[in-house]
Amino acid sequence: MDPEEVAPLLEELRSRPFLNGRYDAFQDEPSTWTAIPERAARCLESMRRREHPVAAVIRGIPIDDEAIGATPLDWSDPTFRQRTQHLELLAVAFATSLGEAFAWDRQQDGRVVHDVFPIKEHADQQINSASTMRITWHVEDAFHPHRPDYVMLLCLRNPQRAATTFSLADDWDLPDHVVDELFTPQFRQLPDISHSIDVAETEPRALLFGDRRHPYVCGDPYYLSPVDERLQAVLNQWYSEVERTMRDMVLCPGDLLILDNYRAVHGRAPFEALYDGRDRWLKRLCVSRDLRRSAAAWVQGNRRLLDSTALASTAVVNA
């Protein structure tokens, strides 16, 4: 995308009052999303309606490295959201071509747009703010029936050139008996630590579901409950197939990566964080195709804020 194509929209978004991550009114306003460049809108429409492509990157969103200021070191900095709100709003505008960006009440203070940057205390944990530790591959929010249909990552800076990794379910070549087991609801998926949920009783789920020829995937192996030996062998076969088909993408400032969270898994390579205000920094959005499915989890009637502990669903469960 030619940066000129979004410059006027970005300029307009810069003049918005500070909303502190509460974008409900903005999201309700149809005029905000009609303005995104046509080629990008067509790509997103194709992801939504044809489920193809499964992963896409839109390049050329202008990032003013000086104006966005320092990469935060933790959550105490009161200014970083103001400095980057126009980029958050732009990302929300793109998301609206796919569906609805939404927030989890217990993740990043219920904000619709998440910040992904390294935090010293998390360096070796399985969380987005890790660095020296690889983020093992996963479906985003795999434990939850109302997990996002799409994940969007907008890169503000990435001097370490840490790669985002992903693998597409359509690329996996698995023996029938392995597919059978993965299609059987017999795996317990626990929430990852970014959701601050202690224990959650989860129903056994399948890791693959839908059309056997083009399966949907739902799993975060690091946070799966232990299984017996026979199933462990099955899982290991799946894991090596995912590893074999894993791709790397180094996001550069202004790159917006969109992943279909039903048809791809993703993770991130380790990197060395410096905590000098120049570290890698992304904005992340969870996007749903249909917020009606999650009505039972809406927090106080807010359809874009989901209670992550509300796991029961009468509508859609992937089992």
Ligand X SMILES: O=C(O)CCC(=O)C(=O)O
Interacting positions 32-71 with ligand ARG (CB under 6 A): none
58 is a contact residue toward ligand X (CB under 6 A): no
Task: In angstroms, give the least distance from the CB of 77 to ligand X.
Answer: 19
* Residue 284 annotated in ligand binding: yes
- Binding-site member from 40, 197, 242, 282 for ligand X (CB under 6 A): 282
4 known member of a binding site: no
164 labeled part of a ligand binding site: yes
C-alpha 87/C-alpha 152 separation (Å) is 13
- Contacts of 311 by beta carbon, 8 Å cutoff, 6+ apart: 143, 144, 145, 200, 201, 202, 203
- Write the single-letter amino acid at 266: H
201 is in an annotated binding site: no
Q: 304-317 burial string, b = 16+ CB within 10 Å, else e? A: bbbbbbbbebeeee
Distance CA 11, CA 28 (A): 20
Q: Quick check: 126 binds ligand ARG (CB under 6 A)? A: yes
Position 96 contacts ligand X (CB under 6 A): no
Of 55, 13, 10, nearest to 261 (Cα)? 55
Residue that has been written with the tokens 């974008």 in this structure: 23
Pick the closer one to Fe ion by CB: 254 or 267.
Answer: 267
5 is in an annotated binding site: no
- Which residue among 135, 224, 235, 265 contacts ligand ARG (CB under 6 A)? 135
Among the listed ranges 17-25, 77-85, 125-133, 163-171, the one in contact with ligand ARG (CB under 6 A) is 125-133
> What are residue 94's phi and psi, to 5 degrees?
-60, -45
With contacts defined by CB under 6 A, name the span among 24-32, 55-63, 183-191, 263-271 that binds ligand X.
Answer: 263-271
Please work out the total of residues on this chain that contact ligand X, with binding judged by CB under 6 A: 11
Is 41 or 256 the residue whose CB approaches ligand ARG more closely? 256
* Residue 132 labelled as part of a binding site: no
268 is a site residue for ligand X (CB under 6 A):
yes
Pairing mode, if any, of strands 55-58 and 216-217?
unpaired
- CA of 3: how far to CAs of 109, 128, 281, 301, in Å? 32, 28, 20, 38
Contact 96, 33 (CB under 8 A): yes
63 or 265: CB nearest ligand ARG: 265
What is the Cα–Cα distance from 243 to 269, expressed in whole angstroms?
13
Q: Is 115 an interacting residue with respect to ligand ARG (CB under 6 A)?
A: no
Query: Strands 113-116 and 302-306: what pairing?
Result: unpaired
Binders in 144-163 for ligand X, by CB under 6 A: 153
Interface mask toward ligand ARG for 176-195; x: CB under 6 A: ----------------x-x-
Q: Beta strand 100-104 with 302-306: parallel, antiparallel or unpaired?
A: parallel
Q: Any contact of residue 270 with ligand ARG (CB under 6 A)?
A: no
Contact flag: residue 222 with ligand ARG (CB under 6 A): yes
304 binds, among ligand X, ligand ARG, Fe ion, none (CB under 5 to 8 A by kind): none
Each residue of 35-53: b (16+ CB within 10 Å) or e? ebbeebbebbeebbeeeeb
Structure tokens at 65: 């490295």
Q: Which of 19, 35, 123, 127 binds ligand ARG (CB under 6 A)?
A: 127
DSSP character for 16?
S
Q: What is the binding site for ligand X (CB under 6 A)? A: 116, 128, 135, 140, 153, 164, 266-268, 282, 284
Q: Which residues bind ligand ARG (CB under 6 A)?
A: 126-128, 135-136, 138, 140, 192, 194, 220, 222
For the annotated binding site for Fe cation, the residues are: 138, 140, 266
